[in-house]
Amino acid sequence: MKTTVRIAAGLVAIPLVVAACGGDDSTAEGSGGQISYWLWDANQLPAYQECAEAFHESGTDVQVTIEQYGWDDYWNQITTGFVGGTAPDVFTNHLARYPQFVAQDQLLALDEYVERDGVDTSIYHEGLTQLWVGQDEQRYGLPKDWDTVAIFYNSEMVDEAGLSPEDMANLEWNPDDGGSYEAAIARLTVDANGVRGDEPGFDSNNVDVYGLGLAGAGEGFGQTEWSMYAFSNGWTHTDENPWGSQFNYDDPAFTEMVDWWRGLIEKGYMPSFAIADAGVSMMESYGAGNYAMVTEGSWNTGAYIELTGVETALAPTPVGPAGERASMFNGLADSIWAGTDNPDGAWEWVRFLASAECQDIVASHAVVFPAIEESTELAEAAFSERGIDVSPFTVHVEEGTTYLAPIADKWAEVTAIMGPTMDSIMSFSADTTALSDANAQVNALFQ
């Protein structure tokens, strides 16, 4: 009997002891000048670690701990952190997410701090700072970097197809016959018998190498999937940006573009949606030599260039019917969580992240383009040292052909409607006529 009681008492004590262990750890973290900083891109981690070291050396008593979570888990972690009170003090924020966070009162407005410390917001690329001002006219982030979209192509395949880098750099596109862009895609497509897409006898059901890769249907955002075609066809997501409330997914300029784009699947020049959605990423298929070219964001440049077995080069997005090229211009920023117990320390770190000192460090790592104009030049130099000509990305900034990423309230709801709609269109289970219905649903959200 005594042993029984002892065992029972012991077992009951386990959770208490365990609770005590864990509890100690979590209280230790919030104290002093400690702040936590989260980002999702491992490729950028070394750059920001170097920033943190420079920050610590600058004589501050704020101690920064950097944590990185993959994109898939990142937003889950942040939102559960908001609810559970364990979110990071400072984190890398995305345009598609922040309006919702603002609506939920989870972000700290930075205006007071910006004013107090006289931060000069004119040093950043035009438009980037404005992106982070909410509908309430308050600022919720300081810009850290920007990205545009370009064509990544397998130069060996382009060579074999008899195309030159100049050809690739001067493609033009239209929604009727696809222009020289579609001609190049057809030329780069090769079926199992070695017949090219523009040659007689091409078997579109038995394709070995697709001229153009497909990552997905792009939901309502389409950044790297279709936005460059749509913008160059004179289309924008919303009536005004930021904070538009009328969406244009039923505009003929958009539907004719989608019809042309998915037509590439029927012609056998682009893999089916089922292939794109099967779990093997576009980068892997490209690396395996199944795609001759893809449209991708600048943040993935390094990852593509370093793939072994394929030689990758860049070309700007094609010129559209509007007479110029186009690319979405997206920018990330660092935001402070409203629930931080150390807002001053968090601000000190955000200010440093947005300073030329840190952005120059980031530039030297040649992974992304920093938001500060002068730091961008450093990044270009660092990229060319790695043997990468990034002008296909920067040309949009120079020529003013950038289109700001759409910023709207309720983006999660928009995605919930447009995601399945675009998927069903690209998998041919619906026609582009479905877009008018979806657009009506989206617009109803803002009434």
Partner 1 sequence: MTVLTGTDRATRANDAEPVTRRQINWGRVAAWTALVVLLIVTIFPFYWMLRTSLSNNRSLAAEAGSFLPADFTLGAFRRVLGLATTQEALAEGGSGASVNFWLYLRNSIIVATVVTVGQVFFCAMAAYSFARLRWPGRDRVFFVFLTALMVPPIFTTLPNFILIRDLGLLNTFAGIVLPTLLMTPFAIFFLRQFFLGLSREIEEAAMIDGAGHVRIFFRLIIPMSSAPITTLAILTYINAWNDYMWPLLVGQDESVRVLTVALGVFRSQTPQGSPDWAGLMAATLIAALPIVVLFAVLGRRVVNSIGFSAGK
Q: Is 227 in the site for partner 1 (CB under 8 A)?
A: no
Query: Least distance in Å: CB of 99 to partner 1?
Result: 18
Q: Which of 31, 122, 205, 308 touches partner 1 by CB under 8 A?
A: 308
Q: Kindly state the number of chain residues that form the binding site for partner 1, as judged by CB under 8 A.
A: 57
Do 146 and 125 touch, CB atoms closer than 8 A?
yes
Q: Is 306 in the site for partner 1 (CB under 8 A)?
A: yes
Q: Is 287 in the site for partner 1 (CB under 8 A)?
A: yes
Query: Least distance in Å: CB of 72 to partner 1?
Result: 5
Which residues lie closer than 8 Å to 6 by C-beta, 6 or more apart?
none
Lay out the site mask for partner 1 across 167-206 (x = CB under 8 A, - = otherwise): ----------------------------------------
Q: Is 9 in the site for partner 1 (CB under 8 A)?
A: no
Q: Is 21 in the site for partner 1 (CB under 8 A)?
A: yes
Q: Is 278 in the site for partner 1 (CB under 8 A)?
A: no
Instruction: Give whichever of 234 and 339 is closer to partner 1, judged by the CB atom.
Output: 339
Q: Which of 118, 162, 200, 309 touches partner 1 by CB under 8 A?
A: 309
Let me know how long the chain is. Answer: 447
Q: Is 26 in the site for partner 1 (CB under 8 A)?
A: yes
Q: Which of 59, 84, 118, 400 touches partner 1 by CB under 8 A?
A: 84
Query: Least distance in Å: CB of 104 to partner 1?
Result: 16
Instruction: Give whichever of 69 and 446 is closer to partner 1, judged by the CB atom.
Output: 69
Instruction: Give whichever of 139 and 144 is closer to partner 1, judged by the CB atom.
Output: 144
Please report, as residue ranges, which positions from 49 to 78 form the binding site for partner 1 (by CB under 8 A).
49, 68-73, 76-77
Q: Is 45 in the site for partner 1 (CB under 8 A)?
A: yes
Q: Is 22 in the site for partner 1 (CB under 8 A)?
A: yes
Q: Which of 41, 256, 334, 409 touches partner 1 by CB under 8 A?
A: 41
Query: Least distance in Å: CB of 174 to partner 1?
Result: 26
Q: Is 387 in the site for partner 1 (CB under 8 A)?
A: no
Q: Which of 37, 40, 124, 337 touches partner 1 by CB under 8 A?
A: 40
How far apart are the C-alpha atoms of 370 and 362, rounded to whole Å? Answer: 7
Do 331 and 185 touch, CB atoms closer than 8 A?
no
Residues that bind partner 1 (CB under 8 A): 1, 3-4, 11, 14-16, 18-19, 21-23, 25-26, 29, 40-43, 45-46, 49, 68-73, 76-77, 80-81, 83-86, 215, 224, 281-289, 296-297, 299-300, 303, 306-310
